[in-house]
Structure 1
Amino acid sequence: MLDNAAAVLMRLVSESGRELVDFTQKDVEPVNEGFIIGYSCGVRTRDDSIERVTIYVNTSPSAPVDEHTVELLDAAGRRLTAWAYPQDPALPSLPAVSYPEAAGVVLSKFGIAAEGARLRMEAYRPGKRAVLRVDTATERWFAKVVHPSLASTIHDLHERFRAAGVPVPRSIGFSDAGLVLLGELPGVPAIDVFERIDRARFAQGLEQLTQHIAQVSVTVGARESLARRVEWYAERMEETAPVFARQTGLLARVVHERYAATEVPRPVTIHGDLHLGQIFVSEDDPSVITGILDIDTAGLGDPADDRGALFGHVVVSAVERSAGTPAGASLSAFADELQAGWRGDQRVAAIAATHLMGHALASAGRGDDRGAASAQLLLERAVAVLG
């Protein structure tokens, strides 16, 4: 993915008059024609102290840039761009909510007194989005940082879902710079308590929720089905972990053939990226669904996309926890139950296999033995799904 990372990082750090002491790879995010790779770096400053800095390097030739981005060429002459967190060029609002003092100023524009607010990063996908939890003296809010072009649409989706009675967080407002301020959703993520869930009751509630979502009136399309660009995953795998390239290439060809041979259904409103981390349940009775998060990708689309996405997430969650744990065993059984529910539907199978390939790519990108083992298990399940 990144040839001679040490040399690239040394050049980046030296441009600010500092010295690279050590580094470790944190994460990998596939984007467009390349990857965004995160590194936790130890940097020696001018006063001889050591500070930790997170540096992200984007290998895509079409990567965005701004005044905080450094551009350089690697040994092969490829264009690279890099930035230090939180100066993400795709998320210009991120620095403004990454520090308590700055966040207080931003929240005051929404009419919220946030003096002394405490911040915690809940999720960050470089180049795509970030979610920060903001705890004030009396309330809790979530600042969602997205590309500026998406903020208005995300706010509108929350308004429409709530008007239709679908339990999603209340959107307080949005900023044209790419910030959406959301209220708190009651309950806990289903993935955190899945070993306590009655799977039959949960599945029934989930079916009711998806039918409710299908009735929401929206004006935008959902995220494009991953199955439409399955070859992209095969190409990225060849760059990331060539040992899996042949297997992934074969899977991609089968997915393409199966998906293309199925009939396109009438579009309805779907979530667009359904998984157990976004489905909230009652803490006292976790079989009861209390709401759903992250409807950024929602819109008119194919119900098979939500079914395939959920299955893929359940499988990778079971693999990460291992079947020997209570949570892993329950998740593994639920994956089998989900598959039994759509067995014979080649469209769902093709989409589910694509999601498994995507999760395998992320696992292989970790660059360690555990990641490689997980990738192999996920690819084997994709083969089984396709029969």
Structure 2
Amino acid sequence: MAQNDLDLLTGEDATELLATAVATAGGELVDWSVRQVDHRPGRSTTVAYRARVRWAGPGEGTVRTETLGASLGRPADQQVPGVLTLDDGEHAVAVWRFPGDPALPALATAFDAHAVATLLGDLGVPEVARGPVTLKVRAYRPTRRAVIEASTPGARVFLKVVRPDKVDDLHARHALLAGAGLPVPKPLGRNNDGLLVIAPLPGESMRHAVRDGGAVPGPEEVVELLDRLPRDVADLPRRTSWSENASHYASVIGAALPGEAQRAAQLATAVEQRIAGLPADDPTHGDLYEAQVMLTDGRITGLLDVDSAGPGRRADDLACLVAHVETLALLRGWDTERLHGLAVRYAHGFAGVVDPDELTARIAGVLLSLATGPHRVQEADWPAQTSVRLDAVERWFAGIPG
């Protein structure tokens, strides 16, 4: 994907794209800003926007805040009815208003309270189907996934929306792990459009305890949790780990920030060389970090987002947790010294379980993937923050910091 394709969806040219899409729906674009960027060089670029739109109404009309999306380089999505495709002969861009995501057809259902009540009744979840149902968007990655909480005064469930071809696999992973006694959300039903209904878990996110300095599990409890993964997980389809994808994330950084392209590429090469050729047959969670863990009084009582569960390296799961805690230490307004100390504490604990050199290489690889974050969410000073994260990649690749 050429650099000008990224500019097309994030620069001034995007104004005309969004204004045209809104006008087609009967509105007037007031202003807009980029919320999220998913740039995959050579493949696709997808952007989410926060826009203010004036809709016809009394007086000057009603101005509402809307989530808009645009995707370039995904021709299959551009055939979906209700999605506006704008083609200038060089680029074909699909533009939509939330929840009309072309890759997530179940999202419109999941964001419709009446449709959710009907669906839950059909799936045998009547305690939530007895309305009124309140919906809250918990996460949204355009064209990839969304999570919506559906609740009534007496009950709640979560609606996980994925691409239709992924829902059966996701349901099977939840069923496998729940059946093995892991504290994962129990699957309650699904539909063919890509919507999976899952039960809530007890406790609160470990992210809160990490942020606020509360009690968190020690390294040994994290390892014990992973020890509970059934061997059958290693028979699932394998997904490339974060560290094994280091070159991809380096290319994303280089496309957004050419001045750091060489450093990012060199770090990626170093990571991939150190971990090359190692067997990947351990049962793994695949994306283990503090926001995926639920705690009650500092003890693990839940494990979320098992989408990536499958064969891999134990060091990848452990490295993922360390890298995420270290990244939180780099955020403005967070307790840098305490969080860095927690990351180091986990790393030392995990180094007694897996090879330390492999662990630090994989920590560096995950940190490299997270270095794409400032640009993806369009932080005000994302170039500087990207460089700060690359500095962390270098430090951890050299060994567990003091």
TM-score by length of 2: 0.86
- Identify the range of structure 1 (213-222 vs 4-13) with the bigger mean alpha-carbon deviation: 213-222
**Mapped partners of 1:23, 1:258: distance in 2:** 44
Q: Could you tell me which of 304, 310, 334 is aligned with 2:342?
A: 334
242, 251, 266: which one aligns with 2:258: 242
Provide closer, same or farther for how the CA distance between residues 229 and 204 of structure 1 changes in structure 2, counting only shifts above 3 A.
Answer: closer
Identity level (%): 27
Any conservation in 1 of the 2:49–2:68 contact (CA below 8 Å)?
yes
| Structure 1 residue 363 corresponds to structure 2 residue 377 | no
Contact 2:327 2:389 in 1 (8 A): yes
Residue in 2 aligned with 1:152? 168
- Between the aligned partners of 2:340 and 2:180, the Cα distance in structure 1 is 33
Indicate conservation of the 8 Å contact 2:104/2:164, yes or no. Answer: yes
CA distance in 2, matches of 1:97, 1:198: 35
Which structure 1 residue ranges, 5 or more long, are not aligned? none
Partner of 1:296: 307
Out of 101, 113, 133, the residue aligned to residue 88 of structure 1 is 101
2:190 corresponds to 1:182: no
* Equivalent residues of 1:166, 1:212 under 8 A apart: yes
Residues 70-94 of structure 1: CA deviation (Å, up to 9, x unaligned): 22246x9233222111111111111
CA drift at 1:322: 4.6
The SS at the match of 2:372 is helix
Deviations 1:3-48 (A, max 9, x none): 3222222232233343221111112234572332111112233445
Counterpart of 2:82, as a letter, is: H
Segment of structure 1 superposing worse, 105-114 or 120-129: 105-114
**Residue type at the aligned position of 1:309:** C
Distance, in Å, in 1 between the alignment partners of 2:233 and 2:248 is 32
The residue type equivalent to 1:385 in the other structure is W
Read off the aligned partner of 1:310 and give its amino acid letter. Answer: L
Listed as ranges, the matches of 1:198-277 within 5 Å are: 198=215, 201-217=217-233, 219-260=235-276, 263-265=277-279, 267-277=281-291
Match of 1:120 in 2: 136
Following the alignment from structure 1 to structure 2, what is the Cα–Cα distance between the partners of residues 275 and 236? Answer: 22
* 1:166 aligned partner: 182
Note if 1:79 corresponds to 2:92.
yes
Residue pair 1:214, 1:270 contacting (<8 A) in 2 also? no
Q: Matches of 1:280 and 1:155 in 2, distance apart? A: 20
CA RMSD of aligned residues (A): 2.3
Aligned letter for 1:254?
A
Name the stretch that deviates more: 222-231 or 118-127: 222-231
Conservation of the 8 A alpha-carbon contact between 2:162 and 2:194: yes
Moved over 6 A (4+): none
Taking a change above 3 Å as real, the CA distance of residues 64 and 31 of structure 1, as seen in their structure-2 partners, is farther
Residue matched to 2:3: none
**Corresponding residue SS for 1:25:** strand
Q: Structure 1 length normalisation: TM-score?
A: 0.89
Quote the residue 1:2 is aligned against.
Answer: 7
Q: Secondary structure at the residue paired with 1:296?
A: coil
The correspondence for 1:34, drawn from 44, 47, 53, is 44
| In structure 1, distance between residues paired with 2:49 and 2:389 | 26
Q: Distance in 2 between matches of 1:90 and 1:244?
A: 32
Asked if the contact 1:279–1:292 (Cα under 8 Å) also holds between the matched residues in 2, the reply is yes
Pair 1:11-2:31 in alignment: no
For residues 143-182 of structure 1, the C-alpha deviation after alignment (integer angstroms, 9 at most, x for no partner) is 1111112212222222221221111111112212111111
- Given candidates 383, 395, 398, the residue that maps to 1:372 is 383
Partner of 2:110: 97
Select 2:295's aligned residue among 281, 284, 292: 281
Partner SS, residue 371 of structure 2: helix
The amino acid across from 1:87 in the alignment is G
> Is the Cα contact below 8 Å between 2:180 and 2:230 reproduced in 1?
no
Provide the secondary structure at the position in 1 that maps to 2:51. Answer: strand
- Give 1:269's aligned amino acid: P
Pair 1:146–1:351, CA change in 2 (3 A): same
| 3-state secondary structure, aligned to 1:54 | strand
**CA displacement, residues 101-140 of structure 1 (integer Å, 9 cap, x when unaligned):** 2211221111233220111111111111111111123211
| Deviation, structure 1 residue 198 | 4.6
Are residue 140 (structure 1) and residue 156 (structure 2) matched?
yes
Where structure 2 has 5 or more consecutive residues not aligned to the other structure, the ranges are 1-5
Q: How many residues in Structure 1 have an aligned counterpart in Structure 2?
A: 377
